[in-house]
C-alpha cells in the first residue's frame, strides 16, 4: 500500500504542529545522475557546494531582515520560528534548517519555498542556475554594514530570480 500526501496536507501539518519534525519522502541517497528539467539542469551537488548555498541562504535571510529593518527577535516572533534556529541559519553554514523553519521563512518573506529548500541543503538535487545565482549573490553581498543602494538592488534582483517560476525548476 502506497501512501500519498499532498503539498497542502504537508503545509497544514507544518503550520499546525510546530514541535514535530515534518518531512516527506526519502532522501536521494546514492542519486548520482543528472536530470534535465524544464528550466535547466538539476544535479546532485557536493557538500562544499551545499555549504556555499547555506552561506547564500544566511546572507539572504539577514539582508531581507535588514531591508525590512527588523531585528532577529522580531523576525523570529513574527514568522513564528525559534530565534536560535534563525540565528543558526544566518551564521552557521553547517546548520541544516528544519523544513518548518524554511516553510515559515518562505511565507514570511514571500520567497519560493522550493528554492529556499534547495538553498538550505534539504534537497540532494539542486538546480544549477539557482546554485550559480545564489553563489554570485552571496559573493556580492557585504553583511557588515547596512545595505547600500547597490546591495539592495542585488538583493531585490535575487529575490525576483527566486520567485520566477520559469527561471528555476520545481513547484511550491
Q: Which residues pair with 127 in a beta bridge?
A: 42
pLDDT at 58: 94
Distance separating alpha carbons of residues 97 and 56, to the nearest angstrom: 13
Return the C-alpha cell found at 30.
Answer: 546514492
Residue 154 lies in a domain: yes
Residue 3 lies in a domain: no
CB atoms within 10 A of CB 143: 14
Distance separating alpha carbons of residues 11 and 76, to the nearest angstrom: 19
112: domain range? 37-162
Residue 170 lies in a domain: no
Residue 78 lies in a domain: yes
Residue 19 lies in a domain: no
Question: DSSP 3-state assignment of 41?
Answer: strand
pLDDT tens digits for range 58-73: 999 999 998 899 999 9
Q: Which of 13-17, 30-34, 40-44, 76-80 shows the lowest mean pLDDT across its residues?
A: 30-34
Q: Looking at residue 85, which CATH number applies to its domain?
A: 1.10.260.40
pTM of the entire predicted model: 0.65
Residue 111 lies in a domain: yes
Positive/negative CA dihedral, 141, 144, 147, 148: negative
Residue 31 lies in a domain: no
Distance separating alpha carbons of residues 116 and 14, to the nearest angstrom: 16
Using the structure block, give the residue that is written with the C-alpha cell 501512501: 3
pLDDT tens digits for range 99-138: 999 999 999 999 999 889 989 988 777 788 888 888 888 8
Residue 45 lies in a domain: yes
Query: What domain count does the chain have?
Result: 1
Amino acid at each position: 500500500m502506497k501512501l500519498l500526501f499532498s503539498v497542502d496536507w504537508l503545509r497544514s501539518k507544518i503550520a499546525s504542529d510546530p514541535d514535530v519534525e515534518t518531512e516527506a519522502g526519502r532522501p536521494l541517497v546514492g542519486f548520482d545522475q543528472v536530470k534535465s528539467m524544464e528550466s535547466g539542469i538539476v544535479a546532485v551537488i557536493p557538500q562544499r557546494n551545499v555549504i556555499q548555498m547555506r552561506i547564500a541562504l544566511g546572507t539572504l535571510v539577514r539582508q531581507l531582515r535588514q531591508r525590512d529593518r527588523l531585528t532577529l527577535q522580531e523576525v523570529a516572533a513574527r514568522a513564528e520560528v525559534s530565534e536560535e534556529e534563525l540565528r543558526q541559519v544566518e551564521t552557521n553554514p553547517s546548520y541544516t534548517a528544519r523544513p518548518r523553519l524554511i516553510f515559515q521563512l518562505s511565507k514570511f518573506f514571500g520567497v519560493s519555498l522550493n528554492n529556499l529548500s534547495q538553498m538550505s541543503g534539504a534537497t540532494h538535487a539542486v538546480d544549477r542556475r539557482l546554485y550559480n545565482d545564489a553563489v554570485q549573490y552571496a559573493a556580492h553581498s557585504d553583511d557588515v554594514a547596512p545595505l547600500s543602494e547597490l546591495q539592495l538592488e542585488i538583493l531585490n534582483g535575487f529575490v525576483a530570480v527566486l520567485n520566477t517560476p520559469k527561471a528555476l525548476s520545481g513547484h511550491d
